[in-house]
Amino acid sequence: MSVLICGSLAYDSIMVFQDRFKNHILPDNIHILNVSFLVPQMRREFGGCAGNIAYNLKLLGGEPLIMATVGEDFDPYRKRLDRLGIPQTHIRVLADTYTAQCFITTDLDHNQITAFHPGAMSNSHDNHVGETQGVKLGIVGPDGRDGMLQHSRDFHAEGIPFVFDPGQGMPLFNGDELKQCLEWATWCTLNDYEAHLMCERTGLSLEAIAGQLEGLIVTRGGEGSDLYVGGSRIHVPAVRAERLADPTGCGDAYRGGLLHGLASGWSLEKSCKLASLMGAIKIAETGPQNHAPSRDAIAAQFRTAFGEVL
């Protein structure tokens, strides 16, 4: 089953600050903030939520199909997707633009400060879900504002179940727009901060939001995930990681596991257990797409963590 992943493809420049932001950002002087962080370590990675989710879904043996807009500098990423065997049928290259660029600085507490240039992503509405074939499941991740609204509308119109994952795109929408996307969506996934913001903007409680969906997932980092489904709240514990190397892309790894489970017809709880494992596997490696366990290795870890078969 092809899973359509609507979202960004981006180049990530990841820098490590060998100290803690809290030692340099003074709360009483935020109004005159002027700080500079020396970052001796820097690397450039392939990223973007659509690319990261597709990478993790492919590790699991899934069939990811990316829908995104990119710039003239896309060629290195194109070659990578070719090597991974991920189709580029619905990746549109736009002239005179850059592919989206993300600049991430991480401190020793794994806090992050991110600057993002959307580039070609701002024209993601040039792509249409109705142009695809054989898609039975989808996700709308962080992307251009108009594209996220359109793709949510398109999934609903085509009768294709999808996950609404506003992520870093949350500030782009007002309360009514978020309510509309929730009405169209089948599932919604948020981290704990995004969940708070969603409630604030829509005026709805998490229970009320979940009542409109087949399931609401709120991830809480090392504390695991809370699933709101069928009027109940189910807690899925976090999987213990071998090491904490880099949080960049952990949420996308989680979503790759979630989509694999949903595409396989699993319950939301079992799907989120696999999602939790994929997040733990990712955080043990630097960069969003450098972990590369075999499917058999993932299956063995899943059995060890949850006693279930992949």
**Can you give the pLDDT at residue 7?**
97
Span 256-289, pLDDT tens digits: 999 999 999 999 999 999 999 999 999 999 889 9
Say how far apart CA 110 and CA 134 lie, in whole Å.
40
- Within a domain: 17: yes
- Within a domain: 123: yes
**Can you give the pLDDT at residue 193?**
95
8 Å CB contact between 126 and 149? no
Helices and strands in the chain, H and E counts: 9, 13
Give, in order, the Cα–Cα distances in Å from 269 to each of 10, 157, 265, 280: 30, 27, 11, 17
* Residue 244 lies in domain: 2-22+41-306
- Within a domain: 33: no
Q: Is 133 helix (H, G, I), strand (E, B) or coil?
A: coil
**DSSP secondary structure letter of residue 10:** E
pLDDT above 90: residue 19: yes
**Can you give the pLDDT at residue 106?**
85
pLDDT above 80: residue 27: no
**Can you give the pLDDT at residue 165?**
98
Nearest to 288 by CA among 24, 102, 109: 102
- Within a domain: 18: yes
Give the total number of structural domains in the chain.
Answer: 1
**Can you give the pLDDT at residue 70?**
98
> How confident is residue 173, by pLDDT bands cut at 50, 70 and 90?
very high
**DSSP secondary structure letter of residue 285:** S
- Within a domain: 36: no
**Can you give the pLDDT at residue 68?**
98
For range 181-193, the mean pLDDT: 98
Strand 162-164's sheet: what is its strand order? 90-93, 63-70, 2-6, 135-140, 162-164, 187-191, 215-219, 225-229, 232-236
**Can you give the pLDDT at residue 28?**
76
- Within a domain: 98: yes
The backbone torsions φ and ψ at residue 277, rounded to the nearest 5 degrees and listed phi first, read -65, -40
Say how far apart CA 262 and CA 271 lie, in whole Å.
6
Say how far apart CA 190 and CA 163 lie, in whole Å.
10
pLDDT above 80: residue 133: yes
Whole-model pTM: value is 0.91
Give, in order, the Cα–Cα distances in Å from 170 to each of 68, 165, 234: 18, 9, 25
Q: Is 241 helix (H, G, I), strand (E, B) or coil?
A: coil
**Can you give the pLDDT at residue 301?**
98
8 Å CB contact between 7 and 49? yes
- Within a domain: 31: no
> How confident is residue 31, by pLDDT bands cut at 50, 70 and 90?
confident
8 Å CB contact between 192 and 219? yes
**Any idea what the CATH number is for the domain that residue 282 is in?**
3.40.1190.20
Nearest to 57 by CA among 65, 47, 69, 48: 65
> How confident is residue 30, by pLDDT bands cut at 50, 70 and 90?
confident
Say how far apart CA 56 and CA 59 lie, in whole Å.
5
Say how far apart CA 11 and CA 48 lie, in whole Å.
7
- Within a domain: 29: no
Say how far apart CA 250 and CA 283 lie, in whole Å.
6
Give, in order, the Cα–Cα distances in Å from 155 to each of 132, 147, 166: 11, 12, 15
Span 80-130, pLDDT tens digits: 999 999 999 999 999 999 999 988 898 999 788 888 899 999 999 999 999
133's CB contacts (< 8 A; 6+ apart) are: none
For the residues of 224-237, what is the DSSP string, one character each?
A: -EEEEETTEEEEEP
Say how far apart CA 57 and CA 63 lie, in whole Å.
7
**Can you give the pLDDT at residue 297?**
98
